[in-house]
Chains A and B, each alone.
Chain A
Amino acid sequence: MSVTAVRPVVERIAQELFARLRLLTAQYSVYSPVPEVIRPKRLDNWSPKNMQIVLTQEAPEINPELSCPGNPPSVARDVLFNIRCHIMPSERDPTPVDEYVNTLAADVVRVVCDAADWHTFGSLAINAEWQTQENIDADGSFDGINVPLLVTYRTDETNPFTVRG
Chain B
Amino acid sequence: MTLNDTLLADAKAVFTSTGDFAEAVTYHPRSFAGEVDRADRSINAVVVREQMAVVSQDGDTVIPVYQVHVANDATEGISSAELDLGGDAISFPPRDGKAAEQKTITQLLIQDPGLLVFECR
Binding site for A on B (CB under 8 A): 30, 32-33, 35, 52, 56-59, 61-64, 84-87, 89, 94, 101-104, 106-107, 119-121
Contacts and interface: CB of A to CB of B under 8 A. Distances in A.
A92 B35 CA distance: 10
Interface of A: 40, 42-50, 54, 56, 58, 82, 84, 88-93, 136-137, 139-142, 144
A89 B63 CA distance: 22
Contacts of A47: 89, 101-104, 120-121
B62 A44 contact: yes
Contacts of B87: 49-50, 88-90
Contacts of B103: 47
Given A48-B106, A91-B84, A141 B61 contact: no
A88 B89 CA distance: 12
B107 A54 contact: no
Nearest to B34: A92
A40 B84 CA distance: 26
A127 B101 CA distance: 41
Contacts of A139: 57, 107
A61 B56 CA distance: 22
In this complex, which of B58, B61, B85, B106 has the most chain A Cβ atoms within 10 angstroms of its Cβ? B58
A88 B121 contact: no
B104 A48 contact: yes
A48 B101 CA distance: 13
B84 A141 contact: no
A137 B57 CA distance: 7
A152 B2 CA distance: 69
8 contacts: A44-B63, A45-B63, A47-B103, A84-B58, A91-B85, A92-B86, A139-B57, A141-B106
B39 to A, nearest CB: 17
Contacts of B121: 47-48, 141
A49 B102 CA distance: 11
Contacts of B119: 141
B72 to A, nearest CB: 17
B104 A90 contact: no
A134 B77 CA distance: 38
B59 A91 contact: no
Contacts of A84: 57-59
Contacts of B57: 84, 136-137, 139, 142, 144
Nearest to A143: B57
B84 A90 contact: yes
A44 B107 CA distance: 19
B71 to A, nearest CB: 20
A47 B59 CA distance: 15
